[in-house]
Amino acid sequence: MSSMLQIEVLTIIYLGTNIFHLIFSTAFVIEYALHCKFCALETTPVYITLIVSLYSWLVAFSYLRRLQWQNDPEYDD
């Protein structure tokens, strides 16, 4: 019961800090975009796409290495 209350309190703290983070980061992005004539809003999707592409590449590469390791004739179950 005690651990359940601790998790609940930590969840509430996390949600509260997450709300503040969303408010202040959104305000910062809007202010920065207005200052540089919306350059940040134009480049953000590009950065997100690059990060997702890099992650997908790493997952595919590690899966390929795993398949190569499992199909190696020297690998003995």
**Long-range contacts for 51-56 (Cβ within 8 Å, ≥24 apart)?**
none
Q: Give 6-50 as a DSSP string.
A: HHHHHHHHHHHHHHHHHHHHHHHHHHHHHHTTSHHHHHHHHHHHH
pLDDT in tens, 1-52: 455 445 556 666 676 777 776 677 667 766 766 777 767 666 676 667 667 7
pLDDT in tens, 56-69: 777 777 776 776 78
Look up the pTM and report it: 0.46
- Give ∠ CA 72-76-77 in degrees, rounded to 5: 115
